[in-house]
Structure 1
Amino acid sequence: MSNLEKKKIAVLAADGYEQSELDKPVEALKSAGADVKIISLKPGSIKAMKDHEWSTSVEVDHIVKEVKADDFDALLLPGGVINPDTLRADEVAVKFVKDFFTQNKPVAAICHGPQTIIDAEEIKGRKMTSFNAISKDLINAGANWVDEEVVTDGNLTTSRKPDDIPAFNERILQEFGK
């Protein structure tokens, strides 16, 4: 039995998520036996971006106002430029993210995904990475930003970009499986 079997993983995303940053980690988590649920702000489906163009969609399992961190073992925050900006403007989504930190559950964010964590006020003093374009945002929020493929600091794992997904997936499988 995989150490991810029986684990429930929340993936919080909105329209404009980066397709590879949701699809590839979800595929890796499901292959390892995790029960992965897509959480969003609205029911139905959410649309991905790929190469700066609208792309495929994914079905939403639950809207964020109907779930809580208690229902899950870990949280994944994919990037994309539009997605985290939409999520961070929603108080319920920000509280959902913050609750994972309050409960010291594993959280993983890639590319622009950490922007939502800024609004959850869980950045200060953490060693993190991200897409270079938001490094100043993280530094201004108190992070010790580094340009590395994947970084884990306590319960938080961060990664820079789609090219880093293989290393990111390997790390989240370890961290979410603990």
Structure 2
Amino acid sequence: MQLEQQSQESRWRGTVPSALDGRVLGLVVVTAALAASLNVPYGGLPVGIVAFAVLAGGGVAVHLLGERKLRRLTDGLVERWADAGGRIEDVTKTSEGMRTEWLVHTPDGSIRIGGIALVPVSRLSVEWQGVGDTMDASEAEAELDRLAESLFEEIFEIGAATQRS
């Protein structure tokens, strides 16, 4: 089945929920506070406050941009799978560990999509039935059509054939 084929059965029309993670943001704030506190003995309290503001602001921005990139990739994959005939029931956010992840619910099981949501080192991982693959998020974004097609074949076509056997 080619990715461009349309399915008359089901068409997912939902959205991928936001995955801003308070734990990651908390870690950024605590790390910024610790790093800024090192400046207090040398530059005084004003330098420490400025250092905290710069580090915390930068860390939050890096997380927001990384989350946005991973969410865009997840949405792109799910949309392409649904357009090709994959039966998508729902997409939910998970909160295990410090990773940003979504579960794509299908009749054949859940697909876990996520990764590290820090923009300079963002990684996308896709896991289905215990088997996963990870790649750089920028590389995945550049090759989204090819990635969606190969994952569709592996998950929806091969997976459906294995489920019937």
Q: Which has the higher strand share?
A: 1
> Which structure is richer in relative contact order (CA contacts within 8 A, separation 6 or more)?
2
Q: Which has the higher helix share?
A: 2
TM-score normalised to structure 2 length? 0.33
Choose 1 or 2 for highest CA Rg: 2
TM-score normalised to structure 1 length? 0.32
